[in-house]
Amino acid sequence: MGKLVEIRWHGRGGQGAKTASLLLADAAFNTGKYIQGFPEYGPERMGAPITAYNRISDDKIRIHSNIYEPDYVVVVDETLLTVIDVTSGLKETGAIIINTDKAPEDVKKHLKGYKGKVCTVDARKISEDVLGKYFPNTPMLGAVVKVSNVMGEDEFMKDAKESFAHKFATKPEVIEGNMKAIQRAMQEVKGI
Amino acid sequence: MAIRERLSGNEAIAVAMKQINPDVVAAFPITPSTEIPQYFSQFVSNGAVQTEFVPVESEHSAMSACIGAQAAGGRTMTATSANGLALMWEMLYIASSSRLPVTLACVNRALSGPLNIHNDHSDSMGARDSGWIQLYSENNQEAYDNFIQAVRIGEHKDVVLPVMVCQDGFITSHAVENLDLLEDEKVKAFVGEYNPEHYLLNTKEQIAVGPLDLPNYFFEHRRQQAQAMMNAKQVILDVAKEFEKVTGRKYDLFEEYKLSDAEIAIVIINSTAGTAKTVVDELREKGIKAGLLKIRVFRPFPQEEMVAALKHVKALAVMDKAEAFSGVGGPLFADVKAALYGVADGIKVINYIYGLGGRDVKADNIELVYNELQNIVKTGQIGETYRYVGVRE
């Protein structure tokens, strides 16, 4: 039985957490894995907290429920730390990855004594530097691949480029920026 | 060679529709099935299909347009959910009694009210007496495979009935998963040309569709329609065999999972079957003889086959993702109990209503059901038969 990795994404409507979960599913699929990528649908509006999920496995995935004991949690918007119990059920052998300009030890006070790995990455700065706009989801995607090791970095970069080429077929100018955002997030994520 | 893909359940159905390339698709959008006509209309605009796409103004009109087009001699399809299916209600009966093999993708959603967009089976369960064949799908692969087979089943000369292919709204319709697609030409060859025996545009044979049917003939027509539904069982099995030859994927009236030596078992429909299989595996590791029967074909109801598969079980829980307000249990429970009556009376059968309106069904919920079944076997006491799991009260 191959290892099943479960990831939960917390973001706000419009930040692309759902898209990020689908891009991660895509990339893992391209490396030969079985995947699931699905959002939890609620009232869909800009700014509302949303949750999305990934399962990645070497074996066929049969379970069809939400994820309650994730291996990794990705927080795309740090204002959610005081609103949502982001570490709920999170395995201590896993990690939480937060989009913030703060160091890991500075956000720990919001994590209810979570004993696992705490990682931070400044996705806002990276996104604004390389894309000129605030799209935190692709830097977060890079950070989660780096921290979780669900696939090899080189393999992931190659697949991400193909996924972007497909997703941004009508605006190829953003592909390079997104690839840079992923690369920088992989280098800059703290707390590994 | 199969095409390894990852698609949502809705995309999988839209791709199947594209590969089938029907004559007419008429649809009105409703969550969570909206993406099916949305994707399909792109295929139409891009010239990937030759289908006449009719963006009607309601689901009643969608089914009416399908009926008209199918009666004219075309292969027609639609997709809907919940209140959309409810608005088709009147026309569902017209399609089946006029013997028009329309194919419908039903993305299961709770029927309002209170207003809810999430999954349960109250929509298609409510339509169970409408004369449509009903196939259910655990995951995206099954939704795709069932949809392709549905065309052949409905159009078969011994059947000539409409077919509804159901999957769980959001849970599979909006979840991206791995699946294997067939090549376009293989789907084309599998479904073949639609050559109805009688159709309105046939200038050599003048016929009427849907005229007044008074006491002199109505009863005979109903009898023939009931016979067609009975005939469907064998056709479903034959089509499944042929499908297996092309894909290697095996389909039956229902799936038995670790059932042959099971002492306790559940009967379940759609996506939760997958979650329940993981629970069965865990229980088996502890030496508990748990099993599962997953319904694929609900109409026609596979009564004899189901009795044969379940008769050795000591305690059984029938899982209903719909409340029928009978005061004594859900619709699947009623059918399963009726099937067992007089032929397998020793089995202790209970009912669970679960997952209504999108309440997430966790492995823990299913484990609780198996624990209760173990208690029943141990104590011999069945207790209350009409139960709920996962509800706050």
Chain segment A172-189, per-residue pLDDT in tens: 888 999 999 999 999 999
A35 touches B at CB < 8 Å: yes
A36, A62, A66: residue with CB nearest B277:
A62
Q: In this structure, are strands B315-320 and B297-299 parallel, antiparallel, or unpaired?
A: unpaired
Ranges of beta strands (E only) in chain A are 4-12, 34-40, 49-57, 72-75, 95-99, 117-121
Q: In this structure, are strands A49-57 and A4-12 parallel, antiparallel, or unpaired?
A: antiparallel
Q: What pLDDT shows up at residue A44?
A: 67
Final residue in a domain of this structure, among B198, B232, B247:
B247
Do B182 and B86 lie in one domain? The reply is yes
B41: CB partners within 8 A, 6+ apart: B53, B55
A154, containing H or E segment: helix A153-167
**Alpha helical stretches, state H, B248-302:** 272-285
Name the residue in chain A with its Cα closest to that of B274: A62
A78 neighbors B293 (Cβ within 8 angstroms): no
Residues from chain A that touch B367, judged by Cβ atoms under 8 A, are none
pLDDT, one tens digit per residue, over A28-78 is 999 999 999 999 887 667 889 999 999 999 999 999 999 999 999 999 999
Phi/psi of residue B245, each to 5°? -60, -35
Instruction: Tell me how long chain B is.
Output: 393
Q: What pLDDT shows up at residue A117?
A: 97
A67 neighbors A8 (Cβ within 8 angstroms): yes
Diameter of chain A measured on Cα atoms: 45
Residues from chain A that touch B171, judged by Cβ atoms under 8 A, are 38, 64
Q: Which whole number is the average pLDDT over A69-97?
A: 97
Structure tokens at B219: 């009863």
The closest of B369, B383, B265, B385 to B326, measured between CA atoms, is B385
Structure tokens at B66: 């399908």
DSSP assignments along B122-153, one per residue: HHHHHTTTSS-EEEE-SSHHHHHHHHHHHHHH
Residues from chain A that touch B168, judged by Cβ atoms under 8 A, are 64
CATH of the domain at B83: 3.40.50.970
Do B65 and B190 lie in one domain? The reply is yes
CATH of the domain at B289: 3.40.50.920
**A–B: how many Cβ contacts below 8 A?**
59
Domain range for residue B308? 254-389
One-letter amino acid identity for B196? P
Q: In 3-state terms, what secondary structure has residue B333? A: helix
Final residue in a domain of this structure, among B204, B229, B247:
B247
Which of A65, A68, A159 has the highest number of chain B CBs within 10 A, making it the mutation to test binding with B?
A: A65
One-letter amino acid identity for B273? A
**Per the omega criterion (within 30 degrees of 0), is the bond before B211 cis?**
no
To the question of pTM greater than 0.95 for the whole model, the response is yes
Q: In this structure, are strands A4-12 and B163-168 parallel, antiparallel, or unpaired?
A: unpaired
pLDDT, one tens digit per residue, over B135-182 is 999 999 999 999 999 999 999 999 999 999 999 999 999 999 999 999
Do B261 and B347 lie in one domain? The reply is yes
The angle, 0 to 180 degrees and rounded to 10, between the axes of the packed helices B184-191 and B140-155 is: 30
Please state whether B287 falls in left (phi above 0), alpha (psi between -120 and 50) or beta. left
Going residue by residue through chain B, which has 393 residues, state the pLDDT in tens, using 9 for 90 and above. Answer: 799 999 999 999 999 999 999 999 999 999 999 999 999 999 999 999 999 999 999 999 999 999 999 999 999 999 999 999 999 999 999 999 999 999 999 999 999 999 999 999 999 999 999 999 999 999 999 999 999 999 999 999 999 999 999 999 999 999 999 999 999 999 999 999 999 999 999 999 999 999 999 999 999 999 999 999 999 999 999 999 999 999 999 999 999 999 999 999 999 999 999 999 999 999 999 999 999 999 999 999 999 999 999 999 999 999 999 999 999 999 999 999 999 999 999 999 999 999 999 999 999 999 999 999 999 999 999 999 999 999 999
Do B292 and B237 lie in one domain? The reply is no
Query: Are B176 and A65 an interchain contact pair (Cβ–Cβ within 8 Å)?
Result: no
The closest of B298, B302, B322, B299 to B310, measured between CA atoms, is B302
Residues from chain B that touch A29, judged by Cβ atoms under 8 A, are 6, 178
Final residue in a domain of this structure, among B247, B267, B282:
B247
Do B47 and B179 lie in one domain? The reply is yes
Do B186 and B315 lie in one domain? The reply is no
Name the residue in chain B with its Cα closest to that of A64: B275
Query: Are A34 and B176 an interchain contact pair (Cβ–Cβ within 8 Å)?
Result: no
B364, containing H or E segment: helix B363-379
Residues from chain A that touch B141, judged by Cβ atoms under 8 A, are none
Name the residue in chain B with its Cα closest to that of A59: B178
Residues from chain A that touch B11, judged by Cβ atoms under 8 A, are none
Query: Are A25 and B362 an interchain contact pair (Cβ–Cβ within 8 Å)?
Result: no
Which of B4, B176, B319 has the highest number of chain A CBs within 10 A, making it the mutation to test binding with A?
A: B176
Residues from chain B that touch A27, judged by Cβ atoms under 8 A, are none
Other Cβ atoms less than 10 A from the Cβ of B392: the count is 5
Residues from chain A that touch B282, judged by Cβ atoms under 8 A, are none
Q: Is A32 exposed, middle or buried (0-12, 13-18, 19+ CB in 10 A)?
A: exposed
Do B123 and B14 lie in one domain? The reply is yes
d(CA B64, CA B358): 30
Interface residues from chain B to A (CB-CB < 8 Å): 6, 117-118, 138-139, 168, 170-172, 174-178, 271-272, 274-275, 277-278, 360-363
- Of chain B, the percentage scoring pLDDT greater than 70 comes to 100
Least confident of A113-127, A147-161, B301-315: A147-161
Query: Are A38 and B6 an interchain contact pair (Cβ–Cβ within 8 Å)?
Result: no
Do B228 and B368 lie in one domain? The reply is no
d(CA B347, CA B120): 27
Residues from chain A that touch B170, judged by Cβ atoms under 8 A, are 38, 41
Do B71 and B24 lie in one domain? The reply is yes
Query: Are B6 and A26 an interchain contact pair (Cβ–Cβ within 8 Å)?
Result: yes
Q: Is the pLDDT of residue A2 over 70?
A: no
Q: How far is A180 from chain B (nearest CA, A)?
A: 26
A25, A62, A63: residue with CB nearest B176:
A25
A61 touches B at CB < 8 Å: yes
ipTM of the complex: 0.94
Query: Are A36 and B139 an interchain contact pair (Cβ–Cβ within 8 Å)?
Result: no
Do B156 and B57 lie in one domain? The reply is yes
A29 touches B at CB < 8 Å: yes
HSE at residue A36, side-chain half, CA atoms within 13 A, is: 32
Q: Is the pLDDT of residue A1 over 60?
A: no
Do B111 and B201 lie in one domain? The reply is yes
Do B302 and B197 lie in one domain? The reply is no
- How many degrees, rounded to 5, is the angle at CA B83 between CA B226 and CA A53? 110
Name the class of domain A4-188.
alpha beta
Name the residue in chain A with its Cα closest to that of B172: A64
How many structural domains are present in chain B? 2
Phi/psi of residue B27, each to 5°? -155, 155
d(CA B177, CA A77): 26
Q: What pLDDT shows up at residue A164?
A: 85
